[in-house]
Amino acid sequence: MTAVASKCRVCRQPAIIDLPRHNANFCGEHLLQLCRRQVEKAIADHDMLSPDDRVLVAVSGGKDSLAVWDILIDLGYRADGLYLGLGIGDYSDESAGYARRFADERGLILRMLDLRDEHGYDVPTAAQVTHRVPCSACGLSKRHLFDQAAREGGYDVVVTGHNLDDEAAVLFGNTLRWDVQYLARQLPVLPAGDGFPKKVKPLVRLTEREMAAWCIVRGIDYQVEECPMAAGNKHLAYKAALNAIERDSPGSKAAFYLNFVERMAPLLSGAEHSGADGLRPCSVCGSPTTGEICAFCRLKERVAGQPRVPVEVLLSKKRRTATAGGV
Amino acid sequence: MIVRLRQPKREIEVAGDRTVNQLLDSLGMNRESFLVIRNGTLAPGDARLTDSDVIEVRPVISGG
């Protein structure tokens, strides 16, 4: 027989999850209520969205992007999705399937782009040719193409699934380096301007664990497996360090990031270098840039048409480097 | 009990009743970084798991 232990703080029914940072347990229904309220508070506190906004959600097929899309639809927003195929082998094929099924089952609009089909390269090939980490080409491509899709599609705002753990980890890294310009820009909202769309992060008050629980309770099938390119990156190391602190001192991550936004970020206002000075249209694609050709078009010019580098080649190289380094 | 793990996918057998948090501790896993699913339903940290349960330990941390 399975013993039922803790009870929901709200209704006293059997709990399904413990949330030490709230010093409470919750049943499925009241976990969902908590998540909805945290998203509503983030949206209201930071003026993220208006009821009439046309919203474009950056969808990866993982828990956070599907959860934020689900929550926004649940709250009544008009939100379409955009998925970008990155060419990371089976991982990308599977993630596309999760995104497609989520949208189809709910009758939502999901636009699908593919880096190789439409721009002639993929993330592993770009990483190999540029000799940079794959996350660099991935991030650059996503930012550029989501911005472009929002401009061309007439969307008011781009939503991403960055959660409290993501933001706390980035803040941790920026703080370790005292990177003041990045710290000053690390806010839940990037306003529209200079040809860039407004970008918002409605999940900044919710942890990864809470988002995974949202998906499980809501029956959302998402890609659990991690991107093979991300293994061993600094972002994961920062998250592990913060979770070690969180385990002994629940609420530390939320205090670290949310108090930064409330108390520290205003003191840094003006220290950010927006890069907006001297912006002009890219001579190739028309996107705003400080140079003649934007970073995305420079990357594309360098790597498009190069022989495809399978993801396995990069992973094998990564393993060899780790072995040589004694890791 | 059968315990299904991810990244990479594998199964292990764990003998003896224990709570969710005790299971995670015995596997060296931080409870902030995982959810435990018992017979298809989420289970809180103090839920007692028995030998007949099928358990999934699901990582929740992503590196993107």
pLDDT-based confidence at residue A194 (cuts at 50, 70, 90):
confident
pLDDT at residue number A1: 47
Nearest Cα residue to A131 out of A314, A300, A8: A314
The reported pTM is 0.94
Of A216, A231, A235, the CB nearest to B35: A216
Residues A89-102 pLDDT 10s: 999 999 999 999 99
Confidence of residue A324 (pLDDT cuts 50, 70, 90): low
> Has residue A147 been placed in a domain?
yes
Residue bearing tokens 């474009």: A56
Is A41 among the domain residues? no
| Banded pLDDT at A327 (limits 50, 70, 90) | very low
A229 inside domain: no
Name the minimum distance, in Å, from the CA of A272 to any CA of chain B. 24
Looking at the structure, do residues A148 and A193 belong to the same domain, yes or no? Answer: yes
Whether the pLDDT of residue A11 is over 70: the answer is yes
Tell me which CATH code domain B2-59 carries: 3.10.20.30
- The reply to whether residue A63 touches residue B60, judged by beta carbons under 8 angstroms, is yes
Residues 6+ away with beta carbon under 8 Å from A89: A124, A228, A310, A311, A312
Question: Within a domain: residue A107?
Answer: yes
Supply A202's token pair. 């409605």
CA distance A7 to chain B (A): 9
Q: How many residues does chain A have?
A: 327
Contact indicator for A65, A160 with CB cutoff of 8 Å: yes
Same structural domain, A90 and A123: yes
A79-104 burial, b at 16+ Cβ within 10 Å, e below that, comes to bbbbbbbbbbbebbeebbebbbbbbe
Pair type for strands B2-5 and B54-59: parallel
pLDDT on residue A305: 87
CA distance B36 to B20: 7
Q: Would you say residue A233 lies in a domain?
A: no
Residues A87 and A189 in one domain: yes
Of A15, A135, A236, the CB nearest to B44: A15
Cα angle A35-A44-A187, degrees, rounded to a multiple of 5: 90
Nearest CA in chain B to A216: B42
- A-chain residues within 8 Å CB-CB of B46? 5-6, 18
Residue A277: what pLDDT? 67
Taking the C-alpha atoms of residue B19 and residue A70, their distance in angstroms, rounded to an integer, is 32
Distance CA A20, CA A198 (A): 34
- Cα-flanking dihedrals φ and ψ of residue A9, to 5°? -65, -30
Whether residues A127 and A264 share a domain: the answer is: yes
* Together in a domain, A171 and A128: yes
Predicted confidence at residue A274, as pLDDT, reads: 59
Domain presence at residue A198: yes
- What is the mean predicted confidence (pLDDT) over A160-170? 98
CA distance B32 to A209: 7
Shared domain for A31 and A137, answered yes or no, is no
CA of A147 to nearest chain B CA: how many angstroms apart? 18
Mean pLDDT along residues A115-144: 94
Q: Are residues A175 and A29 located together in one domain of the fold?
A: no
| A6 and A60 fall within a common domain | no
Express each pLDDT in A102-112 by its tens digit: 999 999 999 99
Each residue's pLDDT tens digit, A266-309: 999 888 765 566 789 999 999 999 999 999 999 999 999 899 99
Calpha distance A310→A321 (Å, rounded): 18
Q: Which of A3, A230, A236 sits opposite B48 (nearest CB)?
A: A3
Give how far the C-alpha of residue A127 lies from the chain's centroid of Cα atoms, to the nearest Å. 20
> pLDDT grade, residue A219 (50/70/90)?
very high
C-alpha distances (whole Å) from A279 to each of A142, A186, A293, A297 are 20, 21, 11, 16
Instruction: Give φ, ψ of A14 to 5 degrees.
Output: -55, 135
Q: For residue A189, what are the domain limits?
A: 46-206+239-249+258-318
Over chain A, what is the mean pLDDT?
93
pLDDT band at A29 (very low <50, low <70, confident <90, very high): very high
Q: How far away is chain B from the Cα of A63, in angstroms, using its nearest Cα? A: 9
Q: Which two tokens stand for residue A259?
A: 């108090």
CB A198 within 8 A of CB A189: yes
* Same-domain status, A28 and A168: no
Q: Which CATH number do you get for residue A309?
A: 3.40.50.620
Which residues of A touch chain B, with CB atoms under 8 Å apart?
A: 1-6, 15-18, 25, 28, 60, 62-64, 135, 138, 165, 207-209, 211-213, 216-217, 224-227, 230-231, 233, 235-236, 239-240, 243-244, 246-247
Rounded mean pLDDT for each run of 10 residues along chain B, 64 residues in total: 92 94 96 96 96 96 82
Chain A partners within 8 Å of B29 (Cβ): none
Which pLDDT band holds residue A311 (cuts at 50, 70, 90)?
Answer: confident
CA A161 to chain centre: 4
Residue A216 lies in a domain: no
Asked if residue A123 and residue A159 are part of one domain, the reply reads: yes
- Sequence-ordered alpha helix ranges (H) in chain A: 28-45, 63-74, 89-106, 115-119, 123-130, 134-153, 164-176, 180-185, 208-218, 234-248, 252-259, 265-268, 295-303, 311-324
Per-residue pLDDT at A3 exceeds 60: no
| Number of domains, chain A | 2
Dihedral sign for Cα atoms in the order B58, B60, B61, B63: positive
Among A111-120, A195-204, A265-274, which is the least confidently predicted range?
Answer: A265-274
A54 and A180 in a single domain? The answer is yes
By C-alpha distance, which of A186, A197, A205, A196 is closest to A266? A186
The predicted model gives A235-264 an average pLDDT of 97
Residue A211 inside a domain? The answer is no
**What's the pLDDT at A322?**
67
Q: Are residues A194 and A283 in the same domain?
A: yes
